Amino acid sequence: MPSAQQRALQLYGIISLDVGGSASPVRGATVIAFRDLGALVSESPYAAPTPSPQHIAEYRSVVEGAFARQTIVPAPFGSVFRGRDSLMRWLELHYFTLIEAVTFVADRAMARVTVSYGDEPDTTTTMAIDADLVENAANESFRVLRRHAVTSLVINNHAGESGPAARASFLIERERWDAFYDIVREEQKRLREMQLECTGPWPPYDFVRMQFGA
């Protein structure tokens, strides 16, 4: 069992201390410093939190609260370390990779774009036809939007309860956000039979991969 000095820690993300020093940029979390990086954490049981709406909302509140003030590399939901010592070892082991990640997402935000069919399908056959239409339209629109993004990632393309939908994430320079949103609206005008929805700006959730383990 961890001692009082070695309480388990939930990791929300990594920030640069060059921006705001070691003070936490958001309520509900503290900063553990390692060189010029800060790990945004809170005390936690040594077990991954259940992905309940409350826990996810608390996680998002911290990550997105920090993102509103500075660059953050989000940790996956439920990232828990046994204690401060294990977190510090992990920071030391992955220091240069984390520095690269912070540099890569600095001054950038994520947009999520969904393409769906305008009318609700009535039959399985119609749904299959609509899925092809959505896929073709989404592929074309995503190709246009990629030209205005740093990078992109297609999340899925499947039929849900509300019909076929294709989703992709785009990493955008923050100063180019309004221009990107305008391009999405132009695509909506061009594809009048489709619904295009752009949400954000979000932290770069879909563009971060962290390695954990011994």
Instruction: Determine the pLDDT at residue 163.
Output: 62
Instruction: Determine the pLDDT at residue 21.
Output: 67
pTM above 0.75, yes or no: yes
Low-confidence ranges of the chain (pLDDT < 50): 1-5, 121-129, 159-161, 214
CB atoms within 10 A of CB 146: 13
Instruction: Determine the pLDDT at residue 137.
Output: 80
Of 191, 211, 2, which is closest to residue 98 (Cα–Cα)? 211
State whether 185 and 133 are in the same domain. Answer: yes
- CATH number of the domain that residue 132 is part of: 3.30.70.260
The verdict on residue 213 lying in a domain is no
Cβ–Cβ < 8 Å for 25, 70: yes
State whether 173 and 114 are in the same domain. Answer: yes
Instruction: Determine the pLDDT at residue 162.
Output: 52
User: What do you get for the CA distance between the two ends of the chain, in Å?
Assistant: 18
Owning domain of residue 97: 4-106
Instruction: Determine the pLDDT at residue 116.
Output: 82
Instruction: Determine the pLDDT at residue 123.
Output: 45
The verdict on residue 15 lying in a domain is yes
Instruction: Determine the pLDDT at residue 190.
Output: 85
Strand segments (E) across the chain? 9-16, 30-34, 37-43, 72-74, 80-81, 108-117, 151-160, 163-173, 194-202
State whether 100 and 132 are in the same domain. Answer: no
pLDDT tens, position by position, 189-205 = 888 777 888 999 999 99
Residues in Cβ contact with 19 at an 8 Å cutoff, skipping those fewer than 6 apart:
25, 70, 71
176 vs 27, 89, 184, 208, CA distance in Å?
29, 37, 13, 21
